[in-house]
């Protein structure tokens, strides 16, 4: 099923993802729709977090809010990585000041049997697809719309830990104590994520980003065993399934936060873009990315947005000097924090666009 969408007017981010020439460096910001915007807080004052996710009109509204303020090169659908555990039958609550909380986390591998192993993504996550379609149409071709999903390890980490953690010692203990059952869980998640992402593209997503937000608590060996193979399977199968459905595959971005050691392994997968957090040296990452013909995304320290607007401009220039202008999507190294100033994000975005791209 192909939908008829308005023509795209600004395809800089798609071109950068494919390594093609751009007229200016494309830029977006993780969590660009969110609590740092007063207009977002107004919506949240009336509706709880998951109601916004589940109501296409509201999700569309908050997705487009930052585009009204800033000259962004992409929209990212407002949603949450934990909609997948919800689709598998788990309850997730957003507890103020504490973040996402699972009242009944997976306590033993036996609890895996309680999950809905093969959820109908159209039934359980159709609201995301509807939000994507509505937003894509409302965008009217202004900029591309990004869809996303949490990666299997990151979702497993939340489902077993029951919420955020500085160590994620419970899910890490599963990898050693219950290796086979962990793989079973990761496979269940992977299968659902693949269907979810294919559905997102059909619904209107023009790029996809995978968030492996908790990669950093894994050592290299565990990352190679419990994260990388699933990330690979997702990009392989999403692209294959789209081709088989006669739909052009969209560029895919992988962001494995704090897994600095995995950049070369990720560059050897079919992901088009490697997202980087702010601890990574752009020069070293670019060397690796070049070898494998990959694009890079990142990696401005979000905390640097607390600086003066003048200093932000200088820091953006230094960052792009290191990344170069080719095969590059400017972004933060992680999401916006709630107490940040919209004006400072604007300074970041404008500084990226003011960087001359030359003829390279």
Point out the residues that are catalytic.
31, 35, 44, 80, 158
Instruction: State in angstroms the smallest separation of the CB of 278 from its own copies.
Output: 5
- The yes or no reply on residue 360 touching its own copies (CB under 8 A) is no
Number of residues that bind its own copies (CB under 8 A): 31
Instruction: State in angstroms the smallest separation of the CB of 177 from its own copies.
Output: 5
- The yes or no reply on residue 173 touching its own copies (CB under 8 A) is yes
- The yes or no reply on residue 176 touching its own copies (CB under 8 A) is yes
Site string for its own copies, 245-284 (x = CB under 8 A): -------------x-xx----------------xx-x---
Exactly one of 302, 320, 326, 332 binds its own copies (CB under 8 A); which one?
302
Provide φ and ψ at 359, rounded to 5°. -110, 10
Instruction: State in angstroms the smallest separation of the CB of 20 from its own copies.
Output: 29
- The yes or no reply on residue 307 touching its own copies (CB under 8 A) is yes
- The yes or no reply on residue 7 touching its own copies (CB under 8 A) is no
Instruction: State in angstroms the smallest separation of the CB of 156 from its own copies.
Output: 14
- The yes or no reply on residue 164 touching its own copies (CB under 8 A) is yes
Q: Which is nearer to its own copies, 108 or 173 (CB)?
A: 173
Q: From CA 292, how far away is CA 312, in angstroms rounded? A: 31
Exactly one of 7, 167, 180, 248 binds its own copies (CB under 8 A); which one?
167
- The yes or no reply on residue 306 touching its own copies (CB under 8 A) is yes
CA 24 to each of CA 12, 38, 73: distance values in angstroms, whole numbers, following the listed order: 7, 29, 10
Exactly one of 7, 113, 166, 360 binds its own copies (CB under 8 A); which one?
166
- The yes or no reply on residue 127 touching its own copies (CB under 8 A) is no
- The yes or no reply on residue 35 touching its own copies (CB under 8 A) is no
Q: From CA 15, how far away is CA 142, in angstroms rounded? A: 15
Q: From CA 214, how far away is CA 148, in angstroms rounded? A: 16
- The yes or no reply on residue 31 touching its own copies (CB under 8 A) is no
Q: Which is nearer to its own copies, 140 or 219 (CB)?
A: 219
- Name the β-bridge partners of 275: 255, 297
- Name the β-bridge partners of 332: 300
Separation of first and last alpha carbons in the chain: 38
- Least Cα distance to 58 among 44, 73, 71 occurs for 44
Site string for its own copies, 181-220 (x = CB under 8 A): -----------------------------------x-xxx
Q: Which is nearer to its own copies, 116 or 341 (CB)?
A: 341
Residues in 311-340 that interact with its own copies by CB under 8 A: 311, 333-334, 337, 339
Rounded to 10 degrees, the C-alpha dihedral 304/308/314/316 comes to: 40
CA 77 to each of CA 134, 162, 216, 228: distance values in angstroms, whole numbers, following the listed order: 10, 25, 25, 25
Instruction: State in angstroms the smallest separation of the CB of 161 from its own copies.
Output: 12
Q: Which is nearer to its own copies, 19 or 216 (CB)?
A: 216
Q: Which is nearer to its own copies, 16 or 217 (CB)?
A: 217
Burial class (CB in 10 A: 0-12, 13-18, 19+), 16: buried
Residues that bind its own copies (CB under 8 A): 164, 166-167, 169, 172-173, 175-177, 216, 218-220, 222, 258, 260-261, 278-279, 281, 301-304, 306-307, 311, 333-334, 337, 339
């Amino acid at each position: 099923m192909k939908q008829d969408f308005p023509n795209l007017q600004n395809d800089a981010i798609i071109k950068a993802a494919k390594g093609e020439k751009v007229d200016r460096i494309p830029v977006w910001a993780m969590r660009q729709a969110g609590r740092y915007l007063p207009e977002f807080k107004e919506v949240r004052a009336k509706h709880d977090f998951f109601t916004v996710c589940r109501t296409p009109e509201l999700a569309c509204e908050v997705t487009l809010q930052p585009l009204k303020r800033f000259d962004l090169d992409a929209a990212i659908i407002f949603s949450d990585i934990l909609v997948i555990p919800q689709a598998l039958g788990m309850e997730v609550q957003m507890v103020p000041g504490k973040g996402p909380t699972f009242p009944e986390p997976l306590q033993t591998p036996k609890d895996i049997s309680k999950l809905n192993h093969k959820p109908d993504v159209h039934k359980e996550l159709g609201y995301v697809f509807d939000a994507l379609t509505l937003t894509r149409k409302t965008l009217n071709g202004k900029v591309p719309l990004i869809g996303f999903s949490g990666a299997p390890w990151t979702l497993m980490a939340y489902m077993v830990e029951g919420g955020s953690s500085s160590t994620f010692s419970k899910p890490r203990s599963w990898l050693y104590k219950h290796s086979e059952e962990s793989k079973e869980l990761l496979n269940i998640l992977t299968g659902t994520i693949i269907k979810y992402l294919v559905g997102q593209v059909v619904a209107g997503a023009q790029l996809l980003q995978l968030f492996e937000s908790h990669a950093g608590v894994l050592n290299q060996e565990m990352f190679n065993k419990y994260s990388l193979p699933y990330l690979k399977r997702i990009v392989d199968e999403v692209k294959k399934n789209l081709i088989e459905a006669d739909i052009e595959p969209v560029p895919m971005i992988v962001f494995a936060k704090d897994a600095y050691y995995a950049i070369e392994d990720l560059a050897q997968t079919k992901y088009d873009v490697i997202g980087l957090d702010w601890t990574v040296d752009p020069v070293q990452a670019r060397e690796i990315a070049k070898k494998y013909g990959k694009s890079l995304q990142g990696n401005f320290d979000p905390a640097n947005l607390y600086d003066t607007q003048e200093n932000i401009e200088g820091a953006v220039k230094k960052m792009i000097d290191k990344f170069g202008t080719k095969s590059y999507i400017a972004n933060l190294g992680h999401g916006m924090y709630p107490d940040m100033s919209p004006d400072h994000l604007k300074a970041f975005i404008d500084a990226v666009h003011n960087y001359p791209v030359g003829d390279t």
